[in-house]
Amino acid sequence: MSLASTSAPLSVAQARADSIGYLALVYADKRLPLQVRQSAAGHYIGTADDDGPVSRESVEYFRSHHAAGHALATGRWQQRLHP
């Protein structure tokens, strides 16, 4: 079941305030929590579901899990607007 609102689209700011993935919601219709993820390029802020990664939300890649977690906790990261 999707929890995405059908009445009004969620803004980037509201998604971030709710700590959910904006791109996951807009492009995959999934309301998923932001978390630190890892790829071959480095650590990033993104989302995943039971099937695996859904979205890379951060523009930045971070050198460590700790650095990405700190960025997520403090809000010091930039939201990607397109997949």
Per-residue pLDDT of 50-71, as tens digits, reads 999 999 999 999 999 999 999 9
Average pLDDT, the chain: 92
- CA-based max dimension of the chain: 39
Q: Which helix (DSSP H) or strand (DSSP E) does residue 38 occupy?
A: strand 35-39
Tell me, rounded to whole angstroms, the distance of Cα 66 from its chain centroid: 17
Print the SS3 string covering 16-35. HHCCECHHHHHHHCCCCECE
Residue 5: pLDDT band (50, 70, 90) is: very low
Mean pLDDT of 6-10: 64
Residue 36: pLDDT band (50, 70, 90) is: very high
Residue 8: pLDDT band (50, 70, 90) is: low
What's the rounded Cα separation, in Å, for the pair 9 and 73? Answer: 25
